[in-house]
Amino acid sequence: MTGDRIPLSAGTDAPPTATHDVALLDLDGVVYVGPAAVPGVPEALTAARTAGMRLGFVTNNAARTPEQVATHLTELGVPAQPGDVITSSQAAASVVADLVGAGGRVLAVGGPGVAAALTAAGLTVVERAEDSPAAVVQGYGPTVGWAQLAEAVVAVRGGARHVATNTDATIPSPRGVLPGNGAFVGVVSTVTGQQPLVTGKPDPAMHAECVRRTGARRPLVVGDRLDTDIEGARRAGAHSLLVLSGVATPADLLAAGPDHRPDLLSPDAAGLLTAHPPVEHAEQGWHCRGWLAAGSDGELTLHAAAADREPGDGLDGLRALAVAHWAQHPAAGEAAVVRSGDAVAAEALRRWGLLAD
């Protein structure tokens, strides 16, 4: 965002590959969903690299080690080294090492990535509350169940510091959204009455570490979550690109508060390769190419009379709606009521799940 401009309104005259030197990419919902790549994204990232953009990978998913993540990315056609990957387990391990000191006992809850990061940070990983851990580090793991949560509860009630790698309530999957680490962290917090220290995104430390490793001068954060990726970018002082290939929906975008409003929008990470149209104010409302979003009486109306002239990536009408809605609510997020001004707009709004009854 530049000056007092509304996010999304400025657009870009050139593709982000020409204006940003490093893309800091979230993984789940951006590069892959479950075990499979988002269609077209490996090819898009290859093209971004060919254009001179470097890639770093910043994930709140603590289940796997950087080595495992890099191997998976390489298998999907996105070559990566462990040093290219920053996980929330690594961030948590660094914080906990400062809290409890070298060799401190820590109860690990989550996938293998949690214990591996703690061990690499010089901490002693234990499995039971009776081992007197000074801290509990809780991260996502697909096999986390009652037994591990119970150990965490006993340890925290016994005085251990509760540290969460992230509090993402959901994760994307081919079957739809599924419970994320935040859902399980909530169980421990509810039973213990203690709120955890959270070390992953949106805390800026992970993006800052990736910037340090890559030497980025003008990074672009690419993510699918408003409350972690986009807020994290803002807190790190970086521009952001929201993709709709993961968790965030068009309705989420419109309802976003100031800290969750992205600078750019794209269906997926291929948005790194294209210029992004501006959204401009006129007497009738807000225009993006052939689309017009107008607001009155607390509602928005989308018109698409000339939209077929420049089809773009299919999101120009959504860009216009977002800017129009945010202009009406500059200081807080509000759910939007959207109506169609014509048949083309109605079809688009149905596709985005935004058409009001």
Instruction: Tell me how far apart the 2 most distant CA atoms of the chain are, in Å.
Output: 69
Classify residue 16 as left (phi > 0), alpha (psi -120 to 50) or beta. alpha
Residues labelled catalytic: 26, 28
Nearest alpha carbon to residue 263 among 3, 10, 4, 67: 10
Position of tokens 């000074």?
A: 134
Token pair in block for residue 336: 């939007």
Sign of CA dihedral 315, 321, 323, 326: negative
**Going by C-beta distance under 8 Å and a sequence separation of 6 or more, which residues neighbour residue 53?**
16, 17, 20, 21, 22, 23, 272
The rounded distance, in Å, linking the Cα atoms of 295 and 298 is: 7
Cross-sheet strand order for the sheet of 135-138:
124-126, 105-109, 135-138, 161-164, 197-198
CA angle 52, 55, 61 (to 5 degrees): 170
